Structures are given as C-alpha cells and as structure tokens.
Amino acid sequence: MRRSGRTHYFARRCTFTPSFKNCRKFARKESRGVPRDSKRNANSVNNVNIKRLFSIGSACLMSALSAGACSSGEVPNAAAGNTAGASGNSVVGTGGSSGTTPLQTGGGSAAAVAGSSSSSAGASAVGGFAGNVATNGGGGVTSSGGFGGAGGTAMAPVPCTDKQTPDHAGESCNIWPVYDEAKGANEAKDCDASWLTGSGYCLKSCGKCTDGSGGSGNGGSGGGYSTGLGPGPALPDVTNGNIYWASRYWDCCKPHCSQNGLPSCGSDGVSQNSGNSACSGGSAYACYNQAPRAVGDLVSYGYVAVPNPSCGTCYHLQFTGTGKFNANDIGSKSLAGKHMIVKVANTGGDVAGNQFDLAVPGGGVGINANTCTAQWKLSSSDLGPTAGGFLTACTGTHDQKMSCVRDKCNKLPDGNARKGCLWFVDWFQVADDPNFRYEPIACPSDI
C-alpha cells in the first residue's frame, strides 16, 4: 500500500516390574511420600494419593495379567516411532518427539499426546492422556488404564483439530510450522514439543493428524501452506542489520520503469502496449505477470516501487517475523525466515527511504483511484481503501481477514492478477507491513 513463556510441562515417570507384589510395595512407598508437616490442602493430597493408588494398583494388575509394562504420571509426549512387539505388548516412550507412523500396525500414535500406542494384538498404555490411535491391528488399543480387547477392529482416530495454546489464543496455529522452518537443522521444533502437539494443540497445522485430513503442508510457507513446488531456490540468510518494511499497492498504472524496458500491457493486462499510461489518459496498464508469485514454499518473486528507482535492479528480501506497525501481526510472524527476490519496477513519491512498496493486486490503488475501477469494471468500494486495499477493508480474526481478502480476490480478472492477489492470502498470509532485511542480488532469468 502506498502508505504509501510458554508453559513447559515436564513429566515424571516411573516403571514397574510385572510382579504385582513389587508394584504393591511401590504403592505403599508412594503413599508415604506426602510431607507430614503439610496440613494445608491435606484433604486434596489424600484424595490425590487415593486416586493414584487406585490407578497404580489397577495398572499393575493389568501388567501382571499381560506381562507388559506400566507407568505412572503424565507422559505428554511419547517417543517417536513407539513400536509394539510381536506379542502385542507396548513400550511407552520416555519423552521426545511424537511418532510419525500413525497408519501402520505397530506404529506410535501420531499425536502421541500421552504415550498411547498401537499393536496388532491389543495392548495397554496406562497413565497419561489418551492419544490418537491409528492401527490396522485386530486387538484394539486403549489408554489411561484400559486394555486391548482380544480381537476386533481398532479404535477410530480422534478428529484432526487446530486448537491453539491458551497463551497464544487468537493466533493461527500456522505460526508454529513457520517458526520451525526458520530454525536450524539441530534446533528443537515447536511442532514436536510436549507443550504444543504433545498437549493436543495445533495438531493439524503441525502435521500430526491421523484421521485422513492431513496437515496443512510442510510448514514454513504461509503457516503450513504448500505450493507443491518444494522449498524453492536455496538462498542464504540475509545477515545485515538494516531493517526495512514492505507496504503494498496496485494502481494499474503503466510502471515508471517501462521507459527502461519493463513491459506494459493493454487493458487485458496481457497483450503488450507501449502507449501512454492509463493513469494519465493513455491505454497502457501494468502487466498482470508483474504480480507476485511463489517459486517455492519459502521463496517468491515480485516487483516493487522504491524512491529514486534503479530500474531493473533486484534485491533479496528475508522477512524477520515482525510487523512495522504491529510487531505481533500474525501474518508477519508467519513470514519469519521466508524470502523474496524483487525487481524494481516503479517509483513512489510517498515511499520512504526504508520502505519497499510491493506490487500486489488488491493492495490499494493509492492516488490513482479511477484506473483500476475502469480496467476491472469494479466500484471503488469493491477495491477497499486507497491505502491498504482489500486487507484494510477486512476485520475480525486473522483467519477471518484471510477469508475476507480471498473473497475479494476472486472478484479480480481470472489469471495472474487474481493469482497474485491469492498469493497475498496464501503465501504471504495477509501480512500487514512486515519487516525484512535485504541485500542486492543478481536477477534470476525468470523475473
């Protein structure tokens, strides 16, 4: 536009032998663990211990019957790929990332919320929360003190949900896979953390679903949005310390740099037209292929207006994950670590020295209020405020804004203009004035 902590939950885990006698000894020892000088909340402590003794006793009884293993306490995140042995006895993980083989016999639970497991002959996963169960086995699987049946079909998986953590209420779950994509190869991923997917949050966006609906892509591309193109060209991180910000516009005018070889088009936005600009009464408009487009989940190409332009120069942008005017803008957060290569196509008298104005259809028509209405046969109200365009006209939550902008994009002419607008929704996550660092780069051959 031309305005042109987290709460971490730690599990305590204990193991028992199959011997019922030994488990009883442990239970007696556990009951003696209450401090004798603690009178406050004594009734609550006693109630908790009674429940724990009952749970331990039941668990160990089942262990004695099945010669399996039992565990006590919360195990919010089972180890990746927990497997069941040939006899159907499960091995509960001690923590770590969740399992990733949800739809095959013997694989660990995809969500692995509490050490749930699968097997071909029925097994138990005692202690902890129920996890997703996705088995092809014949015995069925239960958790929290249950036991597998002697045969029959496996339990149905829980629905694929995207419930956000309480401390990020109102934000999209898409932020987590995007943050993970920006991390180094050896850094722990949020989507594998016990406080997130291990506690049942953001399962869909993190790709932990088992009900067939799937996750939302490979992360790092618009909050899980997948282009189907892979990550895109390999680009290094931009490390210089200068922070700039990106506004947006699309005024339909013939670009300033057309005098330096950049094409301009007729009213269809496709056929070449070298006439005078439509914004000054001529017949030439911006070409629709100058709208931004993704070349990978992490990389996009586009065109920009800058003050005192060096026409045809290209720059490599990398987004910081913050917004210029709202540091916590959800869309801007979703861009963290993603890249753009942009070519200078236009000038902007109202563009600041630390600002790039991205050419995005639907991004706001600026001072040229009538050109796009004539070209697209839309009213000025359809195009939204002159500064900010579609997004500025939309309100509500981040998801509601995305849906609103998408609806407006679908009013634009089919082809690259509409695709460029939808790029702003899907790849750019309707980021509002995101911050970035940049460096000069040789222009790719396809921009």
For the chain, give the percent of residues with pLDDT over 70: 60
**Token reading at 287:** 């070409």
- Segment (H or E) for 241: none
Give catalytic residues, as residue numbers. 251, 357
Average pLDDT (199-205) is 83
Helix, coil or strand: residue 228: coil
Mean pLDDT of the chain: 72
The amino acid that residue 281 corresponds to is: G
Distance from C-alpha of 264 to C-alpha of 86, rounded to nearest angstrom: 69
At 42, the pLDDT band (50, 70, 90 cuts) reads very low
Domains and CATH numbers, the chain: 14-143 (no CATH), 244-441 (2.40.40.10)
For the chain, give the percent of residues with pLDDT over 90: 47
Give 292-337 pLDDT, tens digit per residue.
999 999 999 999 999 999 999 999 999 999 999 999 999 999 999 9
pTM for the model: 0.54
Give 421-446 pLDDT, tens digit per residue.
999 999 999 999 999 999 999 999 99
DSSP line for 346-363: EE-TT--TTEEEEE-TTS
Q: Are 137 and 119 in contact (CB under 8 A)?
A: yes
DSSP line for 128-193: S---------SS-EEETT----SSSPPPPPPP---PPPGGGTTS-TTHHHHHHHHS-TTSPPGGG-
